[in-house]
Structure 1
Amino acid sequence: MFVLLAAAALAAPLLVPHPEHAGTATDSSARLLAPSATYWMGTDNLGRDVFSRVVYGLRTGPAIAVLVVSSAVVVGTAVGLVAGYFGGWVDEILMRLTDVFLAVPALLLALALAAVLPRGVVGLTIALALTWWPWYARLVRGEAASVAGRRHVEACRALGLGHCRIMLRHVLPGTTTPLLVQASTDIGGVILVASGLSFLGLGAQAPTADWGLMVQESQNHFATHWWVGTFPGLAIMGVAALSYLTGDALRDRLDPRSTSPRGRMPRRRPGTTEAG
């Protein structure tokens, strides 16, 4: 599904019937038309095709989420890896800095940063990236501290290998599984927060095709023209749910300590007995 969504975002000009409606083009003669064979998801208050804008929204919300999570993973991994590997005063300084960011509620911090930074997609991406990295620092720090105390890492130190080489080749690989699971789950969370900030006017600005902005623009017409905000909202919910389900599936696949999705013991092959 992620591959299909990425392909749809890249091929949006070829897939949608009205690509011009993703920009500044409007059609006053087609305002607030209900879904039909011509307009699959209806039109908004400016006569723009909702379906075309929802598909083009794949280039905004999910793209912001991927950039935010990627940036947070890079920064958080670097901080957590150094803190967990060296320990001592280095760990104390880096983790106390992380605690400063974690002490403020994430949404409140994102709101404050988005209000200070220039309005738009770039400012929103920077605000969310600055908010999201502490969780990865904490996650990687715990895993790195565990791996750094193992015998093969101590053997590398005894052989005189450099710290950078040990961290990158022997400590970092031990953190990839929880990082991958957390990152895949966080994409949905970032999409929800980014859409919320766009709804409040602190994210993407008109005429950008953004799902949160589309829901905000539809609030005055929702009672009488439900389709204007319903389809962007379903897109937000669908991609966020896909992200959470992907994270759960990766956890079941990659973490041998995890249980089945129903919370019971790991599945047995058909035909095997309890003793087998």
Structure 2
Amino acid sequence: MAKTVRMSDDLRLRALEGNADALAAAPEAEFTDAERIRSDLDALKEGAAMLTQAGNRVAALALMWSAVAIDPTDLGGHRRLAAMLANSGDVDGAANEYARYIEFMLPIGDVARATMELAYGAKVLGGHPALREAAEKIVTAVRALVPGGSATASLPTPRLLPKVPFRICIHDDGDRHWMQLEGGTSELVPTSVRLLDRQDNVVETRKCIPLTPGQKGHARIIEGEPPAGVAWVVLGISDEVVAALDAGKPSPYRVQAKVGDEWISSVLVDTGCRLGRRPSKIAVS
């Protein structure tokens, strides 16, 4: 015996009937505009789910298009519509739906939501052209967050600090050694010098004494080197430093000169002025 099918047994009709009953049962005055929109959205989503279950994807898509038309910024409706389009093989339609949602987020200032939705869409669909275009719109919106100015601030150009030249003499005083430095230039006038160890710890700091123009310093002038400098100073040094200078090796300690407000490196020219003349050597610190 054939089974009698009532109209209410059709899932598609039950979805529509259920929505109509729900709307008819509620008094009109009890709904605010926001509640009415939410009620309509929920009814359309439920109807689309039932129609999808019944195999009528075309009608289900029509309901979801209606849902996003009622509230274009509803995340649930948007995601469901995009998923239905992708599952039906309409990848372009799904990508355009993600792009549409992003375009609605940007004018209301929700750049974060737009960015997250772009990432979600790219994860689902990959690098679709519609998503790349949406990404450019997000970039433009982010740039607009920073007000433009008439002059664009530019980064300072890196500069190489010069090195202060010094001629040096080594003097013995019993069990101690002293290094006399004479140097500087008219552009690099040292006011102090300091001695640093291997860990850049300051061992000693001394103020420089100015040399008057034409005043002859103690250190002899090496041929090819500039004449007497503009200041001189004496630092105490260790046997290790003297041994390195005598061997023509780099000094284990560094000498820095203060020029203005900056401490900068120096170039030490050994004049050989110590007990017994020695060939001139150059050490850079």
Query: Larger relative CO (CA 8 A, sep 6+): 1 or 2?
Result: 1
Compute the TM-score of the two structures, normalised by the length of structure 1: 0.19
Compute the TM-score of the two structures, normalised by the length of structure 2: 0.19
